[in-house]
Amino acid sequence: SQQGEEDPQALSIQEGENATMNCSYKTSINNLQWYRQNSGRGLVHLILIRSNEREKHSGRLRVTLDTSKKSSSLLITASRAADTASYFCATDDITGTASKLTFGTGTRLQVTL
Amino acid sequence: DTEVTQTPKHLVMGMTNKKSLKCEQHMGHRAMYWYKQKAKKPPELMFVYSYEKLSINESVPSRFSPECPNSSLLNLHLHALQPEDSALYLCASSQVLAGDYGYTFGSGTRLTVV
C-alpha cells in the first residue's frame, strides 16, 4: 500500500520560478527521501532527511520535515527546463533487518521556457 | 562504480514463456530490491534481499521468482505471466538499513506480456 500522498499531482511553471511539492505520510518513519524520475525510467535519489531533522538543503533543493504533521515539502528554486520530471517522496521504514522504501503518489513537474 | 545495471532494457514475452530479468551492482551494497511500476503510478515494492537472503516478499504471485546468487547479482525469474504484469521493473540497491545514503536505482526493464 502507498505510504505517501503528494500534492499537487501536476505542476506547470516557467523557468526561473520556484516549485514546491508536498508529501504526507501515515506512519512513523526512519527517514524520508525524495527521488526524481525522467520519462518513466530509473529513479534518481535527490535528498534524504532523517526523522530527527527539520530542514535540509542540497544545491537548489530544500526539504522540510514535520513529523508531528507527518508531512514533508520539497522546494526547487530557480527551476530549469531540465528539472521537468516526476518527483516522488518515499518513506524509509526498518522492518527487522531490512529497510523498506515506500513511495508517494508523485508530482509531475513541467518547466517551460 | 556507482551504478545499478539492469538487463534487458526491453522484453516482450508470451504468457507461456519463461524469462529472467537481471540486475548487477558493484557498490558493495548488501541490500537489493525489486520494484514494479505501472504507467503514471509510483513504484511498488516486490522483494527485498538483505545479505543475500529474502527478507521481504510483498505477497507477490509465485509466477515471479526472485534469486540472489551473490552479493552483486539479483535476478527475477518470470513464468506464466499475465498481460496485467506488463510494467517497468526496477532494481535498486542500498546499504543495509539504508542509512543516510538513499537507494540507487537501475534504469529498469520495460516488460510487455502478450
Residue A95 or residue B90, greater confidence: B90
Tens of pLDDT, residue by residue over B6-18, are 999 999 999 999 9
Contacts of A105 in chain B (CB under 8 A): 41-42
Task: Give the gap in angstroms from C-alpha B50 to the nearest C-alpha of chain A.
Answer: 6
pLDDT tens digit sequence for B56-83: 999 999 999 999 999 999 999 999 999 9
**Taking 60 as the threshold, does the pLDDT of residue B24 lie above it?**
yes
pLDDT band at B96 (very low <50, low <70, confident <90, very high): confident
pLDDT at residue B59 in the model: 93
Buried b (16+ CB within 10 A) or exposed e, A12-48: ebeeeeebebbbbbeeebbbbbbbbbeeebbbebbbb
Q: How far is B15 from chain A (nearest CA, A)?
A: 24
For residue A56, give every residue at least 6 positions away whose Cβ sits within 8 Å of its Cβ, in sequence order, or none: A47, A48, A49, A62, A63
Instruction: Find chain B residues with C-beta within 8 A of A43's C-beta.
Output: 43, 90, 92, 103, 105
pLDDT of residue A95: 77
**Residue A100 is nearest to which of B4, B56, B107, comparing CB atoms?**
B56
pLDDT at A41: 85
Percentage of chain A surpassing pLDDT 70?
97
Strand order in the sheet with A19-24: A5-7, A19-24, A71-76, A61-66, A55-58
Three cell numbers written together for B113: 506480456
Cβ within 8 Å, pair B108-A41: yes
pLDDT at B2: 72
pLDDT band at residue B99 under the 50/70/90 scheme: low
Nearest CA to B19 out of B106, B105, B86 is that of B86
| pLDDT attached to residue A59 | 97
What is the predicted pLDDT for the residue at B12?
A: 97
Are B90 and B34 in contact by the 8 Å Cβ rule? The answer is yes
Residue A3's pLDDT is what? Answer: 63
- Is A83 in a helix, a strand, or coil? helix
